[in-house]
Structure 1
Amino acid sequence: MSDLTGKIAIVTGAASGIGRGIAIRLAADGATVIVSDINEDAAVATAAELGNDSIGIRTDVTSRESVDAAVAAVLEKFGTIDILVNNAGWDKVGPFVDSDVADWDRVIAINLYGTLHVAQAVLPTLIANKSGSIINIGSDAARVGSTGEAVYSAAKGGVVAFSKTLARETARYQIRVNAVCPGPADTPLFAGISAENPRLREALEKAIPLRRLAQPEDLANAVAFFASDDSAYITGQTLSVSGGLTMS
């Protein structure tokens, strides 16, 4: 276990799925977790399970006003921020040629703009502290492509590229920025995507060398490493957590 005692961590999209797994792990390592999610009731309920004075707060990452208000509330209550995990995401699967521009806008607004909004809102505090860790959740779709996820792949590719550039810009302040790229994961999002194709899970499990989908805790372990001093000399990196599906 990493030692995050006394650290203040914001995790977006943390009321369910991978985000919830990350919140649970960071709290287990001693952090106070701000469970940020558009579903306020679920965020509050998740935070109540974590301990360490963790709180739930409603945040719409596509709205800069909402993000700024949430970050201001965190600073008013806790006085600082040490860790940011940009996890909030959304996807709609289908052939690009048949996709709708409105869905493009939503995918990009949540996955890419959401990451930009929250990172920029939190950075002044990390810069002032001359310390901090930002972990952006990308996707292996950004690294190798994924049929039916063209716009999502593009948005997550932006997240990966943004992470590398932000790492360069903020290293002088001892801020580390890394990206964690999940492969197929057993989450509510995957359940929704695979509902129309019940054989998708079986096919993926056969294709993945470790023969299973990722569980939220698999991603949480990687995030906890990047959040802690165990990775004090690592920045600008992209880590695939895919059970070997996308070896490179």
Structure 2
Amino acid sequence: MESKVVLITAASAAMGQLYTRKMLEQGWRIAALEVNHAGLDALPNSSTLLSMNGDITEEEAVIPSVRKMHTELDSVHCVVNAAGIMPTSRILDQEIDLTEIKYGGLVSFAHVNLQDLLERKRGEFISFESLARHLSTSYISAYNASKFAVIADIEVLYQKNKGKDVNFTCICPPPVQTPLLKQTRKTVYPKIFGVFRTLSPETVITKIGRALTNSKLWISPGSATKFSWLFRRFYQA
């Protein structure tokens, strides 16, 4: 049987690259979309890997990449949104519009890819998110805001497309041992990051396969992650 196609954004970043390698090992054909030209060089050399440069915040830039994927590989079965950055600073000093990168990127990415999955009535839509989806944290308020927006959008997509055989999965781990976390130590490191035990990227990736098998929307890796959501839910600021 011919292997299925997965489209992964930020495929050279920590979680995106690890997931790319894992899917290659499992025999998937990969369409790797990355805004950073140099990042594409970090990806494995494989005949089943199609590397593409593009910015998912610009829908016009995503469309040619998706067309190239359809031509050289096939229709996509699994769409993975792993793009994002996490700058830290005091709230009044934050200048980067993360909602444009994270939320805007998700919206344009979904517009280009989701309709194809729904029409064929099969597939997976996966988004790498964070505990920050519900836990407001000093020094990453812009990151929080972008996560709040993304989570709301994904949950509505899930609710509106129930019964259409397209699974939506959102991974929301605590801090993960990635370069993204390490870079915060060079600027401002929120104290709450020391409260949660950081997870390895491999632990998070393993949880995805289990969730897809059970068609779960939310994945909350880590022993304290789900508890923190319940605490935030019932004990508001």
TMscore range, shorter length: 0.7 to 0.9
Q: Report if the CA contact (8 A) 1:5-1:30 is conserved.
A: no
After superposition, the C-alpha distances for 1:195-230 in whole angstroms (9 at most, x for unaligned) are: 245xx599845x23xx4x22222222223334x5x2
Match of 2:48 among 48, 53, 58: 53
Structure 1 equivalent of residue 82 of structure 2 = 87
Q: Which fold has the larger relative contact order, with Cα–Cα distance below 8 Å and residues 6 or more apart in sequence?
A: 1
* One-letter amino acid of the structure 1 residue matched with residue 155 of structure 2: K
The residue correspondences of 1:129-208 to structure 2 (distance < 5 A) are 129-196=120-187, 200=189, 204=193, 207-208=195-196
Structure 2 runs not aligned, ≥5 long: 231-237
Q: Under a length normalisation based on structure 1, what TM-score does the superposition of the two structures give?
A: 0.83
* One-letter amino acid of the structure 1 residue matched with residue 13 of structure 2: S
The whole-number CA distance in structure 2 between the counterparts of 1:175 and 1:89 is 24
Pair 1:28–1:166, CA change in 2 (3 A): same
Q: Report if the CA contact (8 A) 2:24-2:30 is conserved.
A: yes
Pair 1:201–1:26, CA change in 2 (3 A): farther
The whole-number CA distance in structure 2 between the counterparts of 1:93 and 1:24 is 29
Deviation at 1:172, TM superposition (A): 3.6
SS at match of 1:85: strand
Fraction of identical pairs, as percent: 19
SS at match of 2:176: coil
Structure 2 equivalent of residue 62 of structure 1 = 57
Structure 2 equivalent of residue 115 of structure 1 = 106
After superposition, the C-alpha distances for 1:140-173 in whole angstroms (9 at most, x for unaligned) are: 1112222211121111111111111111222342
The answer to whether structure 1 residue 21 and structure 2 residue 1 are counterparts is: no
Structure 1 runs not aligned, ≥5 long: none
The whole-number CA distance in structure 2 between the counterparts of 1:120 and 1:222 is 27
The answer to whether structure 1 residue 220 and structure 2 residue 217 are counterparts is: no
Q: Report if the CA contact (8 A) 2:57-2:101 is conserved.
A: yes
Q: Report if the CA contact (8 A) 1:179-1:239 is conserved.
A: yes
Aligned-residue Cα RMSD (Å) equals 2.4
The answer to whether structure 1 residue 6 and structure 2 residue 36 are counterparts is: no
Deviation at 1:192, TM superposition (A): 1.2
The whole-number CA distance in structure 1 between the counterparts of 2:42 and 2:219 is 30
Q: Report if the CA contact (8 A) 2:28-2:48 is conserved.
A: no
* One-letter amino acid of the structure 1 residue matched with residue 145 of structure 2: A
Structure with bigger helix share is 1
Deviation at 1:244, TM superposition (A): 2.3
Q: Under a length normalisation based on structure 2, what TM-score does the superposition of the two structures give?
A: 0.86
Pair 1:44–1:65, CA change in 2 (3 A): farther
The whole-number CA distance in structure 2 between the counterparts of 1:188 and 1:65 is 29
Pair 1:225–1:74, CA change in 2 (3 A): farther
Deviation at 1:128, TM superposition (A): 2.4
Structure 2 equivalent of residue 75 of structure 1 = 70
Deviation at 1:245, TM superposition (A): 4.8
Pair 1:39–1:178, CA change in 2 (3 A): same
* One-letter amino acid of the structure 2 residue matched with residue 97 of structure 1: L
Q: Report if the CA contact (8 A) 1:140-1:246 is conserved.
A: no
SS at match of 1:73: helix
Aligned length: 228
Identify which range, 127-136 or 25-34, moves more after superposition: 25-34
Deviation at 1:127, TM superposition (A): 1.8
